[in-house]
Structure 1
Amino acid sequence: MGKQYAVLHVQKHSSTGGNLGNHIERAEGMKHTYPHANPEMKKHNKSFKTGYEGMSLGKAVLKRIEKGYTGKTAIRKDAVKFLSLILSGTHDQIMKINQSAELYTPWLRANEAFLQEEFGKENIVKLELHRDEKTPHFHAIVVPLTKDGRLSAKEVVGDRNKLKAFQDRYSEKMKAFGLERGEENSKNNHVTTKEFYDELEKTRKEVENLDLDRIQLIPAAQKTQMIKKYAKTATLDLNLKELKNSKNKRFRQ
């Protein structure tokens, strides 16, 4: 087993509309928003108590802003209203954690505690663990309110350097679970949630459609480049490992 990395993805949102909430909460009748989920595994997902249970994502965000915003000016329409976060790691180690009686509960608590320390418990309006997709991962929805009641994503997650420090702190928390800091300055770390899943699906299809007989005639150097391409996508969500392994056996000379 190679290096096992912690994965932390952050995205800013100005609108409370869209299907993100349906995806996170596995809304009934909205399966098109979570096509990668296994219905038989849904019962193993976990919802964390935040005080906003029963509310849609949009209502929960607006409710938290209503309760916590103390700014003197009206909030701009294009202001960042919430942050969405994905917390996970390399597939092999995440599966090991999820199958370990000793590691699983401490891992849950460590992720929840990390978010509360970083953003304040009161600002986390949604926190879900998805175990019905290939690699278990957390989804968190956070309203970026400062301690003095201002809505400021810039201050909460800051610039590139502050975001890097944020990722460093998360990786440090995950060391106890066998996860290391991922590649710094990697473009793969800066994609939207939609791009994340679009790229994953695109690569799945590419791998499935490979002409294995034709591949036997491809020069070794070109094969290496092809494998690197698939490996890059796997760093986003290492869900492709088993699929790639079955195909890559035929790549070798």
Structure 2
Amino acid sequence: MSPWPRDTVGDDSAVALAEVSASSQDAGAFSSGKLSGFLHLQAALRHNLREIAAERGSYGNIDSKRTINNYALHGPDTSTAAMGIAKGIVSTADTEGKALRKDAVVGIELIFTALPKTKGDLVEYFADCTRWAEAEFKAPLLSSVAHLDESSPHCHVILIPLVKGKMNGARLYGGKTQMSARLSSFYETVGKRYGLTRPEVRVKHPLGQRMLLLQRCADVLAKTMLPGKQIQALLKPHKADPLPLARSFGVVFRGARAEPGSFIDLMTA
């Protein structure tokens, strides 16, 4: 699946694989990112329209034999034509006599993924996602392309952040509060019709609490007589978010303390 902007050198040379440092949000079937500068916009379009030769080889998850099944829901079938349209739209913006910054957000890219639990017709699902994006952002729709040549079918939608005659990508993209409301809108308007529900929002607990939970989980595991190295190996994948594991062990917070339940009782229940 395509990430956002990557730098290119020449028309079909290798691409720098580092993902853009601009912010992105991810929540199950719907993720988004900002495209800063025309170079990044062009790179995203070239990826979406499968114009980067290096991506069609052994690199990545693209199956070139299935690329023929990709299709466009909106926009030109070449990045050159799409860039011409994009620059034409941007040129109409009121910049108050100032030149547009080279790193200005000139595109917002949304990715809609068909998860294994997605029900209904795939073509209709991506069409509904595209219509929702255009209505939700109220910004010019530049491109919408469905990819069926990677591990999970998904659709890339690119909008030009021209609102009320001005380019304001950062404000249109919004912060966490606005994105949260937007996610709710997507799952309510589109997702639920296709069997999708909004993923539970995970809260990252302070380091001290996470370390306390991990220690309590280790205490529970120690009662099973497992060697220390095995306990460490079991706990390592849960270091960033130990709460689900702690809950399964019966470890719960009580103020600043955590009390372990019985792992033996849990396993023999």
Q: TM-score category by the smaller chain?
A: 0.5 to 0.7
Cα gap change, 1:186/1:111 in structure 2, threshold over 3 Å: closer, same or farther?
farther
Q: Who is 1:37 aligned against?
A: 62
Cα gap change, 1:88/1:228 in structure 2, threshold over 3 Å: closer, same or farther?
farther
Structure 1: give runs of 5+ residues left out of the alignment.
188-216, 230-253
TM-score (ref. length: structure 1): 0.62
Larger Rg: 2
Match of 2:199 among 182, 192, 213: 182
Give, as a single letter, the amino acid of the residue that structure 1 aligns with 2:107: F
- Structure 2 residue 154 is the aligned partner of structure 1 residue 144: no
**In the aligned structure 2, how far is the partner of 1:186 from the partner of 1:45?**
37
Seq. identity, %: 19
Q: Who is 2:19 aligned against?
A: none
- Structure 2 residue 32 is the aligned partner of structure 1 residue 10: yes
Match of 2:78 among 42, 54, 77: 54
**Residue pairs, 1:237-248, within 5 angstroms:** none
**C-alpha deviation, 1:62, in angstroms:** 1.6
Cα gap change, 1:28/1:10 in structure 2, threshold over 3 Å: closer, same or farther?
closer
**C-alpha deviation, 1:119, in angstroms:** 2.7
**In the aligned structure 2, how far is the partner of 1:63 from the partner of 1:72?**
17
Contact 1:6–1:179 (CA under 8 A) maintained in structure 2:
no
Find the residue that maps to 2:127 and give its secondary structure: helix
Find the residue that maps to 2:87 and give its secondary structure: helix
**C-alpha deviation, 1:143, in angstroms:** 0.8
Contact 2:49–2:77 (CA under 8 A) maintained in structure 1:
no
**In the aligned structure 2, how far is the partner of 1:167 from the partner of 1:138?**
16
Cα gap change, 1:110/1:25 in structure 2, threshold over 3 Å: closer, same or farther?
same
Cα gap change, 1:44/1:165 in structure 2, threshold over 3 Å: closer, same or farther?
same
Which structure has the higher relative contact order (CA within 8 Å, separation 6+)?
1
**In the aligned structure 2, how far is the partner of 1:167 from the partner of 1:84?**
15
Higher strand share goes to which structure?
A: 2
Q: Who is 2:133 aligned against?
A: 115
| RMSD between superposed Cα atoms in Å | 3.0
Q: How many residues align?
A: 186
Find the residue that maps to 2:145 and give its secondary structure: strand
Contact 1:86–1:137 (CA under 8 A) maintained in structure 2:
yes
